[in-house]
Structure 1
Amino acid sequence: MSRLIVVSNRVSAPRGSHSGAQGGLAVALSAALQEYRGIWFGWSGEVTDQFTGQISFEREHGVTTATIDLEPQDVEEYYDGYANRTLWPLFHYRVDLAEFERGFADGYQRVNERFAQTLMPLIEPDDVVWIQDYHLLPLGQELRRRGARERMGFFLHIPWPPRRLLSTLPVAEELVRTLFAYDVIGFQTDEWLQSFLDYVREEMGGHIEGDHVVLGERRIRVMACPIGIDAENFAQLARSPQARMAYRNMRDSAVGRDMIIGVDRLDYSKGLEERFLGYERFLKEHPAARKEVFLLQIAPPSRAAVESYRIIRASLDSLSGRVNGAYADLDWVPIRYVNQGYSRDVLAGVYRAAKIGLVTPLRDGMNLVAKEYVAAQDPEDPGVLILSRFAGAASQLTAAVLVNPHSAEEISDAIMTALRMRREERIERWRSLMDNVEREDVVWWRQTFVSALMGEDQALLVDSEPSGD
């Protein structure tokens, strides 16, 4: 059996099947690595004065991790710079926030070369390499340049932008061309897949043959393969002692009021400002319902070194203060705004206690919070999921109350609709949502992609790298 080499920007070492802190992607990749005797390679999250390429190996719960440290300049240019100040905003349709600095692009290329240089000696004949996300788009090409002939796949966890937006990126065509070093490329939704194909067809002269795309002498498989959660595990987690305690604490603190829950990393793509404005609109339009609800927004900070993230944090501090100042009473605060993270078992209990799950990103590759909210619900008395039309999950979770997150009116109306929804309708909608969450879970995602990667005929390789470079 072939080994599976997983590569990601950061490595999340497995912490055991009962750890409430273990993320969904980490669980999925750990399971794949256990099955295929693989290695998980990536950045340790630590910095070093001088890059040496030294690898730190660890083995825990059947998974071998291999990590390297990066220099401060690498982190500044590759991670904080090109990945999160250029690609992230652009791929989330925020070209107004994208920063096009040559130094960022140079650092991004340098770190991808360092990944390839360090990883190459670890790859054995017949291994299969699976590279994750936008941080490492050109890594496959760098491995090919160093002689890698093994099958390689790439999965993009975030949206792929429309052709006109992507064209604003300097040397966009060269970056896209690097993807033709892979044998299989996966996207979260058909929308993101079609945007990729549109760019290749219209800007690069490629053509489509079924589920393959051809550019010059390269023919690669492309697929929409939405990631899921471990639905069974998360539903069990919602009944764990820690989750039950969190559930009781939230119900006690609600004192009979209905809770609306939002859980998002602090990021402009998550639509938190628009969410607060929509909730404010609800409070203004429905004075009789004000003290019957409250919004709990959990938003742990991220990427504090990036200016746009400092700006959104200041904006949300101001917005939550304004809403609470205008509407709070002696015994009620409309918004509980918390800037810290919680373990998955605690969150499962919080989800279960919430009458409404408010998931309103402006653009999101998938959004697993929506699926976790569904999985955590009580089948006999489930809450209602309000979901942005622009989250990748919306193409699967069609029984949610779908909204335009840019519209405060739609968010306000959706909250009232959810509060008034009869139990029978809530159960019917939840059952439809849960069917999808269970059917297309993280195991399905992993098996679907890995099967395509291991089962396809070898793509034509004329040289050790894609033609045209």
Structure 2
Amino acid sequence: MNRLIVISNRVSAPTDSNSGAQGGLAVALSAALRENGGIWFGWSGEVTDKFDGHINFQRSAGVTSATIDLEAQDLEEYYNGYANRTLWPLFHYRIDLAEYEREFAGGYQRVNDRFADTVRPLIEGDDVVWIQDYHMFPLGEKLRERGCGNRIGFFLHIPWPPRRLLNTLPEAAELAKKMFAYDVIGFHTQEWLESFFDFAEKDLGATIHENGMVELGDRRVLALADPIGIDAKEFVEGANSPTARLAFRQMRDSAVGRDVIIGVDRLDYSKGLEERFRGYERFLDKHPEERKEVFLLQIAPPSRGTVESYQKIRSALEGLAGKINGAYADVDWVPIRYVNQGYPRDQLAGIYRAARVGLVTPLRDGMNLVAKEYVAAQDPDDPGVLVLSRFAGAAAQLGEGAVLINPYSAEEMSDAIVTALRMGREERIRRWRLMMDNVEKEDVIWWRKRFTDALMEEQTPAPLPEISPAAT
């Protein structure tokens, strides 16, 4: 059996005392590592004065992790810089926020070199390597340069932007060419996959085959759409746990008979939180009869607090929440409860179940697992309604059951909230069942197995035709 080497920016291997706070991706990768053996390699989250390549090994809950510390300059240029101030906004269609600095690009390449130098001695002959996300586009190529002939896969957890947007990135073609160091690359949706095909064909001169194979020079890579899910069985069990039941009762008690509208998002401009607040404000303005009958609970744990654009969105949301509450609140009712902290997943499951409406309205998202968690947490006999952005990756799977909206339209959001609040029980059950069938069928284990099956399937490429140097 092939060992699996998982490489990601941060390592989220489980602990023996895990209390339900582990995310869906970590659950899937941990399960794969327990099944196949291997190592989860990445940054420790710690900063060192001087990088020395020291690896900290740990084993917990059947998973071996190997982590390294990075220098403060690495953190600033690679993580805060190129990954989160250049690639993240660009790949989420926010070219107005993308910053292009040579120091950022240099730090990004340097850290990927450090990852390659450190992890390469850990990779044995029959190991299969699975690299995660936009922090490490060049890592496959760097491993090849160090003599790694193993099967290497790459999965992108954010959108792949249209070619005209991607071309605003200096050296966009060079970044895309690095994808051809991999054997298999995965995207969450057909849309992101087709955007990659379009760039590869028109800007790199690659040949696209019907089976998803993409040829460029002497390299051939399999590209596939493979939407990630949640551990549906585990999440349903969590929604019925004592912790979840207590959270449900506390939420219902605090609502004092009002309907709860919930949003749960990392504090990020891609999540459309300002637009959500404005859509909710439109709802309050246009439907005064609904005031004091509902409230919006927005849970938004902070992230990337050292990046200026994230500081701005936090300030903007605090101001907007205060403005709406100031305009509409009464002595016994506040329209928005805005909370800047995270909660364990079992507690969240209980809060989800207490909410009549789930608002998942990102401006652009690779998938968005909150949508699937909200569905899985519902009471089958009295489920809530999911209001979902058509620009979330999850819309491709849950669109038949959700109320789809354009998150840029406050009017559409207002109308969708009214529709959700007034929807009858039979229609809510019908829509929920459509979504839950997908959540259960295409869960996180399905996602992981689909990708690793393709990656571990040893293929002997047919001889490739010569292509002109101009095309590469």
- Give the alignment's TM-score, normalised by structure 2: 0.97
How many residues are matched? 465
**Distance in 2 between residues matched to 1:343 and 1:410, nearest whole Å:** 32
Aligned to 2:8: 8
**Correspondence for 2:389:** 388
Q: Give secondary structure in 1 for the equivalent of 2:338.
A: strand
In structure 1, give the amino acid aligned to 2:238. L
Give the aligned partner of residue 427 of structure 2. 425
1:22 to partner: Cα distance: 1.1
Compute the displacement of 1:15 (Å): 2.2
Matched, 1:33 2:33: yes
Question: After superposition, where does 1:187-226 map in structure 2 within 5 Å?
Answer: 187-210=187-210, 211-226=212-227
Percent identity, please: 72
Aligned partner of 1:338: which letter?
V
Q: Work out the CA distance in 1 between the residues paired with 2:385 and 2:282.
A: 19
Superposition CA RMSD, Å? 1.3
Asked if the contact 1:219–1:460 (Cα under 8 Å) also holds between the matched residues in 2, the reply is: no
Alignment match, 1:21: 21
SS in 1 for 2:129: strand
Amino acid at match of 2:457: G
Q: Indicate the residue corresponding to 2:295 in structure 1.
A: 294
Distance, in Å, in 2 between the alignment partners of 1:233 and 1:37 is 22
1:186-212 CA distances to partner (integer Å, 9 max, x unpaired)?
Answer: 000000000001001001111111210
Give the SS at the match of 1:291: coil
Measure how far apart 1:38 and its partner are.
Answer: 1.2
Listed one character per residue, the Cα deviations across residues 125-154 of structure 1 (whole Å, up to 9, x for unaligned) are 010000000000000000000000000000
Deviations 1:97-117 (A, max 9, x none): 000000000000000000000
Paired position in structure 1 for 2:336: 335
Match of 2:347 in 1: 346
Does residue 367 (structure 1) correspond to residue 368 (structure 2)? The answer is yes
Segments of structure 2 that go 5 or more residues without pairing to the other structure are none
Give runs of ≥4 in structure 1 deviating > 3 Å. 458-462
> CA separation in 2, counterparts of 1:130 and 1:409?
43
Q: 1:257, 1:292 within 8 Å by CA — same for their partners in 2?
A: yes
SS in 2 for 1:221: strand
Given that 1:282 and 1:413 are in contact with CA atoms closer than 8 Å, whether structure 2 keeps it comes out as yes
Q: Aligned partner of 1:207: which letter?
A: T
Q: Which residue in the other structure is 1:131 paired with?
A: 131
Per-residue CA deviation, residues 351-386 of structure 1 (Å, 9 max, x unaligned), is 000000000000000000000000000000000000
Q: Which residue is equivalent to 1:377?
A: 378
Q: For residue 82 of structure 2, give the secondary structure of its aligned residue in structure 1.
A: helix
Name the structure 1 match of 2:80. Answer: 80
Q: Confirm or deny that 1:322 pairs with 2:323.
A: yes
Alpha-carbon distance, 1:67 to partner: 0.2
Matched, 1:441 2:443: yes
Structural mapping, 1:148-227, within 5 Å? 148-210=148-210, 211-227=212-228
Aligned equivalents of 2:291 and 2:268: distance in 1? Answer: 27
**Equivalent in the alignment of 2:141:** 141
Q: Within the alignment, does 1:271 sit opposite 2:261 as a pair?
A: no
Report the alpha carbon displacement of residue 18 of structure 1 after superposing the two structures with TM.
Answer: 5.9
**Aligned counterparts of 2:142 and 2:94: Cα–Cα separation in 1:** 28
Superposed CA offset, 1:239-267 (max 9, x none): 11111111000000000000000000000
**SS, match of residue 291 in structure 2:** helix
Partners of 1:456 and 1:316 lie apart in 2 by 50
| Residue type of the alignment partner of 1:344 | R
The residue type paired with residue 214 of structure 1 is E
Contact 1:217 1:460 in 2 (8 A): no
Quick one: distance in 1 between partners of 2:291 and 2:460?
61
How big is the shift at 1:17? 8.4
Kindly state the Cα deviation for residue 64 of structure 1 after the two structures are TM-superposed.
0.3
Letter of the structure 1 residue corresponding to residue 66 of structure 2: A
Query: What is the CA-CA distance between 1:461 and the residue it aligns to?
Result: 10
Mapped to 1, the partners of 2:28 and 2:225 lie a distance apart of 17
Runs (5+) with no aligned partner, structure 1: none
Q: Distance in 2 between matches of 1:192 and 1:458?
A: 27
Q: Could you tell me the TM-score, scaled by structure 1's length?
A: 0.98
